[in-house]
Structure 1
Amino acid sequence: MFNQTDQMPVIRRVAIVGSGLAGLSASLLLRDENLAVTVFEKSRGPGGRMAAKRVPGGSADIGAQYFTARNPAFFRFLARHAGEACFGPWEGRFGYQSPGGEWESFPDEKRYVGIPRMTAITRGLSSTLDLRVETRIERLVGEGREWTLQDTDGNSYGPFDAVLVTAPPAQTQELFRNSELRTLAQALDESVSHIQPCWATALHFSQPLKQPYEGMRCQDAVLYWIANNSSKPGRDDHGEWWILHANPEWSHRHQDTAPDKVAEAMVAAFQRVIGSDTRPDELVSHRWLYAKSSSGDNPGFRWFADHRIGLAGDWLSGGRVEGAFESAKGLAEKILAR
C-alpha cells in the first residue's frame, strides 16, 4: 500500500490498538517523547490478561498471577507511571511438583502483584492516557501516507502516521484481513498456530485451607497452576479465594465445553492435587482463548516499515508479563530512532 522511500515522513501521531501492558507501555514511552498517542480498547477498561474478576466480597486475579522485574528499567517504569502504591511483592511460598509427584520449592525470586488487584497496575498506567474504551477497531484504512481507524459501530478515528497493534495474533490477523492487508495477515499464520487457550476458575472457601504453598505449579492431567489469591498483599477477603489454571492441552480439548462442566472437572482436580474433599461455596470460571504462546521464536516485536504498522506483546517476547514491556520498549525505540 505504501512505498518505502529515503525520506519517510516523521511519525507524530500514533494509534495503539489494545490496552494491555504492551499497549500501555508503548503509549507512555512514545508520549514521553512528545508523540501524540491514542489508545483503543474493545473492553470496558484496560488490562488485557492482567485481569481481575469481580467475585462476592471483592475480586480475584484470573489472568496473570504475578510478575518479575529482572530488567531494572521495567521496575523504574512501573514506579514512575503506575505509582509504587499500585504494586508490591507477594511473599508467598511457591512449590513445584516434579514429574514423579514430589513437591519442591520454587527458586527464590522476587515476585510482584498489583495491589489490591492486578488491574491496579494497568489502571495506574492508563490514568493519564487518551484511552477510548468499548471501541472495537475493525478496519484500518490507508489514505496516502496516513491511517484512519474504523470501529464496529461505523465511527472513524484519525488520521494517524502509524498504527501499533498489541492484540493477540489471531485478533491482529483478523484486523489485517478486514483491512485487506493480506501479506501482513499471512505473516501471522505461524504465530496464530502457537497460541494456547486456558480455562481459569476462582474458588471460595469460607475456612482457610491448610496448604504448604500459596502458589503451586502442578503435574496433573487437568491443572497447571494453583494459587491462594487471598495470600497476596492488599486482599481483604473473608475466607480464601483460590485460583486454578488448567493446562493448555486440557483447555484446548475442552475449549467449547460448558463452563459449569469445566468448573466441576477443575474442582475435582484441585481436590485431588491438595488431597482434600472440601467443596467451595462459590466459584467463577473464565475462558482465555489466547493465553500463551508455545513458540520458541521471540523476535521481541515486529515493525512493517512500508506500512508503518508495528506489533508488540508478550507473545513476541517469551510470554512473561515483563516480556510485554520489553516488546513495547523495543518497538517504541525502533519508531523513535526514525
Structure 2
Amino acid sequence: MLVVGAGIAGVACAVELTRAGVPVRVRERGHVSGGRMASKRFDGRPADIGAAYFTATEPDFAAVVDEWRAAGLVREWTDTFWAYDTNGRHDVPGPLRYAAPRGLRSLVEHLARPVPVTVDRLVLAVEPGPTVDGEAYDAVALAVPGPQAALLLDPALADATRAVQTQTWSPTLSAVLRFESRRWPTFRGAFVNDHPVLSLVCDDGDRRGDDAPVLVAHTVPEFAAGHLAQPSAAGPAIEQAVRDLLGLPEEAVDVHVHRWTYAKPTGEPTDVTHHLDVDGIGLAGDAFGPPRVQSAWRSGRDLGRALVARLG
C-alpha cells in the first residue's frame, strides 16, 4: 500500500493502516514531511509559513491534540484575533486556537513516527493496477491537492480523475518578516478584510511563546496570483502593507516569501470525507470538508479506515 504526500492527511491515513497491520509506505516529494503544516527555520528558530494555527472541535482530533500536548508539542494560543475592516480595528472572538512552539511541522513528524516516510521522492505517474511509476500496489492514496493529483493520474482512472477535477484551489504568499526589535503591541493574530494585499498577519513571537520580533503575513489570492512566478519580488509590497497596517516605523527587516500555489480549497464542503473507488485509488485532504487542519486529519483517518476495510 502506498500513500503519496506526507502532510497531515497522508500521515493520518498511513497511521491507520499501520495500526491495522497493513504494510504501507509514504512518499513525499518535498525535503521534509508536513505539507502545508510547514515550518522554516531562520537562524535556528522555526516560523510557520503554511497553516497559521489549528482548532480542535471534534473529540477524536482533540484526543490527538492531547497526545501532542502530553509530548510538549502544542500550546493553547488564543481565542481572540484582531480584525481590520472599513470600521477600523476590533476584537473577534472565536474558538481556541493552538500553536506549536517547535513549528506545526513538528506535529506531523510526531504523528508519523510509526510509519515509513521517504522524502525527496517524486511520483511521476499513477496508472491502472494501481501502478505507481511501474510498481504495483494493492491500493494507492493520494493526499495532495487535487491539481497535483490530476497531473499524476492516468485518464483511464476515470473516477479519481473526475473527483480531483471538481476541486478548486486558491493561492497565497506567506511572508516571514524578521525585525530588529518588537515595535508593536502584542496582538496574536489579525484578520485583514477588503485589503488589496493582506488577509492575515500573525505575531509569531507571541504564537511561539518566545516574544521574538517576527511577524508572518499571508496575502489575498488575487495578489498572490500576480507573483507566483517570482514570489520574492512581492516582498517589498508585503512589508509595506504590514508597516501601514500596524503603524510600524521604518527599520531594517529581513523578508522571506514562500509561494503556495495550492494554498486553500475553495469548493463547497460536502459530507464526504474522502474518496475511494473500485480502481483502488483513494483521495484525502482538506478539500473534503472545511479547509482546516482538523478536516485534513479526519479525511486521512477516514480514508485509512476505509482502506483497512477494503484490504482486510
Give the TM-score taking structure 1 as reference length. Answer: 0.84
The answer to whether structure 1 residue 120 and structure 2 residue 106 are counterparts is yes
Q: CA deviation at 1:189?
A: 2.4
Q: CA deviation at 1:261?
A: 2.6
Name the residue aligned to 2:250: 278
Q: CA deviation at 1:334?
A: 2.7
Q: Percent same amino acid among aligned pairs?
A: 26
Which structure has the larger Rg? 1
1:43 counterpart SS class: coil
Name the residue aligned to 2:90: 104
The answer to whether structure 1 residue 214 and structure 2 residue 188 are counterparts is yes
Name the residue aligned to 2:165: 189
2:93 counterpart SS class: coil
The answer to whether structure 1 residue 199 and structure 2 residue 199 are counterparts is no
1:292 counterpart SS class: strand
2:124 counterpart SS class: strand
Q: Deviations over 1:85-122 (max 9, x none)?
A: 22221148521223x24222121421112232111101
Q: Is the 8 A contact 1:78 1:84 kept in 2?
A: no
Name the residue aligned to 1:165: 142
Amino acid at match of 1:166: A
Amino acid at match of 2:187: Y
Q: Is the 8 A contact 1:301 1:311 kept in 2?
A: no
Which one is further off, 223-232 or 80-89?
80-89
Selected match of 1:254 from 218, 227, 233: 227
Q: CA deviation at 1:300?
A: 3.6
Runs of 4+ in 1 over 6 A off after TM superposition: none
2:121 counterpart SS class: coil
CA distance in structure 2 between the partners assigned to 1:46 and 1:212 by the alignment: 31
Amino acid at match of 1:37: V
Which one is further off, 309-318 or 205-214?
205-214
CA distance in structure 2 between the partners assigned to 1:160 and 1:69 by the alignment: 34
The answer to whether structure 1 residue 149 and structure 2 residue 137 are counterparts is no
Q: CA deviation at 1:173?
A: 0.3
CA distance in structure 2 between the partners assigned to 1:108 and 1:187 by the alignment: 33
Unaligned stretches of 5+ in structure 1?
1-13, 151-155
Total equivalences in the alignment: 309
Unaligned stretches of 5+ in structure 2?
none
Q: CA deviation at 1:141?
A: 3.9
Q: CA deviation at 1:73?
A: 0.6
- Structure 1 pair 92–261 and aligned structure 2 pair: CA distance change class (3 A): farther
Cα RMSD after superposing both structures = 2.2
CA distance in structure 2 between the partners assigned to 1:72 and 1:207 by the alignment: 40
CA distance in structure 2 between the partners assigned to 1:319 and 1:216 by the alignment: 18
CA distance in structure 2 between the partners assigned to 1:303 and 1:57 by the alignment: 39
Amino acid at match of 1:149: V
Amino acid at match of 2:146: P
Amino acid at match of 1:217: F
The answer to whether structure 1 residue 266 and structure 2 residue 238 are counterparts is yes
The answer to whether structure 1 residue 129 and structure 2 residue 115 are counterparts is yes
Name the residue aligned to 1:330: 302
CA distance in structure 1 between the partners assigned to 2:257 and 2:163 by the alignment: 33
Q: Deviations over 1:273-300 (max 9, x none)?
A: 1122333421111100100011114344
Give the TM-score taking structure 2 as reference length. Answer: 0.91
Selected match of 2:60 from 65, 73, 77: 73
CA distance in structure 2 between the partners assigned to 1:276 and 1:200 by the alignment: 19
The 5 A counterparts of 1:26-37 are 26-37=13-24
Q: Is the 8 A contact 2:160 2:282 kept in 1?
A: no
